[in-house]
């Protein structure tokens, strides 16, 4: 009993150095200090205050705002997974809150910035090692915002980011398809190009995707699919560089085009 008492006393002594300065603070003071910390870009401190606010006053009038604010603070502090989790929690708990459109927008931004450099896949020695998951999730968040809140002040920027993401994702698929073509993996190349055509029909990269399909199907001896893709190419891209220039002789254009394009 004496030993246990001594140990407890020792814990009390050593723990006294970790005094919580926020003990006794009201919800208003916690929130005010958190906002001040965010304004001064002290996001780690802001997170600490907001988390304490949520824990101590979960049903107060500052609780809902604290949850969306902490998501933003997580994002700016580089804690992307925590930011997305906080956005999802806010959306689930407060689907009718006036700030739920912002929660979707913030979720989209977190993933958008994570894969903002998706076009740098060109520099990768192996295109298949790149992951476009973040961009897809970003697109879905912006899409949900635009569909549910078309008049939101965040909708115009979300639409612009969606257009960028569509082009980036299509370009990603085309780069991967080209990678497979150069290595003779024609089935994989055709599948990736076909995926781009089906999912991103308005993207600028569609022209090259159809071209890759024609080349891949020709290499595989799948003449029906090759001829079908050829018709799509001629109908939708009659002025394509893949149809003109080198394809001036009588032979099929895909037989003349340099396979290393």
pLDDT number for residue 126:
43
Across the 261 residues of the chain, what is the mean pLDDT of every consecutive 10-residue run?
A: 52 54 90 95 96 91 92 96 96 93 96 60 44 85 96 96 90 92 95 94 90 94 94 90 59 50 52
pLDDT number for residue 19:
82
Question: In the structure encoding, which two tokens stand for residue 88, read together?
Answer: 């999802």
In a domain, 121, yes or no: no
Distance CA 14, CA 67 (A): 33
Distance CA 151, CA 142 (A): 13
- The number of distinct structural domains making up the chain is 1
Are residues 42 and 50 in contact, defined by beta-carbon separation less than 8 angstroms? no
pLDDT number for residue 107:
96
Q: Comparing C-alpha atoms, which of 165, 51, 153 is closest to residue 108?
A: 165
In a domain, 42, yes or no: yes
Helix (H, G, I), strand (E, B) or coil at 125: coil
pLDDT number for residue 228:
95
In a domain, 47, yes or no: yes
pLDDT number for residue 135:
87
pLDDT number for residue 20:
81
In a domain, 67, yes or no: yes
Region for residue 221 given its phi and psi (left: phi exceeds 0; alpha: psi -120 to 50; beta: otherwise)? left
In a domain, 52, yes or no: yes
Chain centroid to Cα 252, Å, comes to: 41
pLDDT number for residue 40:
95
CATH number where 46 lies: 1.25.40
Question: In the structure encoding, which two tokens stand for residue 240, read together?
Answer: 């394509």
* Residue 82 domain boundaries: 23-90
pLDDT number for residue 150:
96
In a domain, 231, yes or no: no
pTM: 0.72
In a domain, 164, yes or no: no
pLDDT number for residue 249:
40
Q: What is the 3-state secondary structure (H, E, C) of 51-110?
A: HHHHHHCCCCCCHHHHHHHHHHHHHHCCCHHHHHHHHHHHHHHCCCCCCHHHHHHHHHHH
pLDDT number for residue 1:
55
């Amino acid at each position: 009993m004496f030993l246990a008492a001594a140990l407890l006393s020792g814990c009390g002594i050593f723990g006294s150095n970790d005094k919580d300065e926020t003990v006794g603070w009201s919800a208003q003071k916690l929130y005010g200090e958190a906002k001040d910390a965010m304004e001064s870009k002290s996001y780690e401190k802001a997170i600490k205050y907001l988390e304490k606010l949520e824990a101590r006053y979960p049903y107060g009038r500052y609780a809902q705002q604290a949850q969306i604010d902490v998501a933003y603070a997580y994002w700016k502090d580089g804690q992307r997974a925590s930011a997305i989790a906080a956005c999802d929690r806010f959306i689930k708990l407060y689907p009718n809150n006036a700030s739920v459109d912002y929660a979707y927008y913030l979720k989209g931004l977190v993933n958008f910035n994570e894969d903002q450099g998706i076009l740098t896949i060109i520099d990768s020695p192996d295109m298949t090692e790149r992951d476009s998951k973040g961009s897809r999730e970003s697109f879905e968040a912006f899409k949900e915002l635009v569909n549910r809140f078309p008049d939101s002040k965040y909708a115009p920027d979300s639409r612009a980011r969606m257009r960028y993401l569509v082009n980036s994702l299509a370009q990603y698929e085309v780069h991967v398809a080209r990678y497979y073509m150069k290595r003779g993996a024609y089935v994989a190349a055709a599948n990736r190009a076909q995926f781009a055509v089906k999912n991103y029909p308005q993207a600028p990269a569609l022209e090259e995707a159809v071209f890759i399909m024609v080349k891949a199907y020709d290499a595989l001896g799948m003449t029906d699919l090759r001829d079908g893709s050829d018709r799509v190419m001629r109908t939708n891209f009659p002025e394509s560089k893949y149809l003109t220039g080198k394809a001036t002789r009588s032979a099929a254009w895909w037989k003349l085009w340099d396979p290393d394009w």
